[in-house]
Amino acid sequence: MMARLPSSRPAFPPGSLDLVLLSLIAKESTHGYRLARLVEEVSGGRLAVEEGSLYPALQRLKKRKLVEAEWQTQESGREVRIYSITPEGRAALREGVREWTALTGTIARFLNTKLADRIEGAGHVRLA
């Protein structure tokens, strides 16, 4: 089996892109291109979302009625689709943040130094 080369930017953990997009749209109704730029900006360049992931995710959110989309004309005359969060989207965001926080807290328990020392000391795993 060939080893996977590390990418320059890590991928979104499964299920996290929708939550990230909802959180950004909750702060600012905006279009897809701006959302992609915000992901890079807020993550300090560590995360990026490509069109092939972004627009299907926005469509999923729209289909679930978590966001609404409306065409608007920019000052340049260009038509863009502006995404806004719905009340259902705000509720889903609150629940998603609660679940994500609980999950990451649980995982963090496994990654603390004392556990790592016990595992390494037992000879089962060598941690770098």
- What does pTM read for this prediction? 0.77
Cα–Cα distance for residue pair 106/120, rounded to 1 Å: 20
Q: What does the pLDDT average to over 25-40?
A: 96
pLDDT digits (tens, 9 = 90+) for 35-71: 999 999 999 998 999 999 999 999 999 999 999 999 9
Residue with the larger pLDDT of the pair 6 and 43: 43
H/E/C letters for each residue in 30-78? EEHHHHHHHHHHHCCCCCCCCHHHHHHHHHHHHHCCCEEEEEEECCCCC
Whether 124 shows a pLDDT value over 70: the answer reads: no
Mean residue pLDDT across the chain: 85
